[in-house]
Amino acid sequence: MKTNEELNCIIAKWVGYKFQPEKLPTHRDPDYEPAFWIDPDDRNTFDIPRYCEDINAIHEAEKKLTDYQKVKCYHKISDIIGDCGEPTENFFNTYHATARQRAEALVAVIEGGTK
């Protein structure tokens, strides 16, 4: 099972964040630069959204899903929460999935390569 940090990084990269690794000083270039992210709007930041803990952040990420991916994500969430077999209750449970559950499902879809 992936950690929150691992899930957050995968989703951040998927929505367009770019990671810039730490630049250690060398004898040719004595300047040190800490690691940071470049957000989708090309601004530097040290933080990425906490998709696993912030329902609004994961909702924003889910907006990038294609229609096909939305269906796949719904089914993944249903698998994660445990499909009860009753459509109305299952829809309700899926609709109220936690940010973490939704992040796990989104990463499964991202890593599954579904378009």
**Domain residues for 58?**
4-112
Q: Which two tokens stand for residue 22?
A: 């730490």
21: nearest Cα among 9, 3, 7, 8: 9
Model pTM score: 0.84
Q: What is the pLDDT of residues 7-20, one digit of tens each?
A: 999 999 999 999 98
Domain tally for the chain? 1
Residue 50 has, within 13 A of its CA and on its CB side, a CA count of 3
pLDDT reported for residue 31: 73
Confidence of residue 92 (pLDDT cuts 50, 70, 90): confident
Least confident of 36-40, 58-62, 83-87: 83-87
pLDDT at 85 over 60: yes
How remote is the C-alpha of 112 from its chain's centroid? 14
Residue located via tokens 């630069």: 33
pLDDT at 66 over 70: yes
